């Protein structure tokens, strides 16, 4: 599959669940420094990662990707809260981020999990169109 930006590198199918996610940012420079929790929305996910729409990319001054000098990569600890299903905990790093048009002032980021999260396959919506491979 190709996209506007070139070849799609995803190796796992993405699911489009309806789920809330609560995440914290842990400093890569000082792992004892952890942000307050931020609530976002899972846009899509696979066993290897997810994209999250969030109102904040630097909670408590800890940017989702790097420390202020861009030397140390910060870490994300997240809990996916799918409606009517058990929570799924994931950890990893942010691979990319950008602003979104809607809701205004929000951002989206792509998170790569440290370990595959096979549990996310249970979040596949039964009415999902199998031809929707975005």
The DSSP line for the chain is -EETTEE----S--B---EEEEEEEE-SS-TT-BPPPEEEEEEEEETTEEEEEES-SSGGG--SSB-TTS-SB-EEEEEEEETTS--EEEEEEEEEEEE-SSSTT-EEEEEEESS--GGGGGG--TT--TT---
pLDDT, residue 132, reads: 47
pLDDT, residue 4, reads: 42
pLDDT, residue 106, reads: 94
CATH of domain 9-123: 2.40.10.220
Does residue 16 come out as left (phi exceeding 0), alpha (psi in the -120 to 50 range) or beta? beta
pLDDT, residue 120, reads: 75
How is residue 122 annotated by DSSP?
A: G
pLDDT, residue 80, reads: 93
pLDDT, residue 102, reads: 83
The low-confidence residues of the chain, meaning pLDDT below 70, are 1-18, 68-70, 122-134
């Amino acid at each position: 599959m190709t996209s506007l930006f070139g070849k799609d590198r995803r190796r796992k199918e993405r699911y489009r669940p309806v789920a809330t996610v609560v995440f914290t940012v842990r400093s890569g420079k000082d792992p004892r420094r952890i942000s307050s929790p931020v609530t976002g929305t899972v846009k899509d996910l696979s066993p290897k990662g997810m994209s999250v729409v969030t109102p904040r990319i630097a909670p408590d001054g800890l940017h989702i990707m790097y420390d202020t000098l861009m030397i140390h990569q910060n870490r994300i600890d997240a809990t996916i809260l799918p409606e009517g299903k058990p929570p799924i905990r994931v950890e990893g790093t942010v691979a990319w981020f950008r602003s979104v048009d809607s809701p205004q002032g929000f951002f989206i980021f792509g998170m790569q999990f440290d370990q595959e999260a096979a549990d996310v396959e249970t979040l596949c919506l039964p009415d999902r169109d199998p031809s929707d491979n975005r």
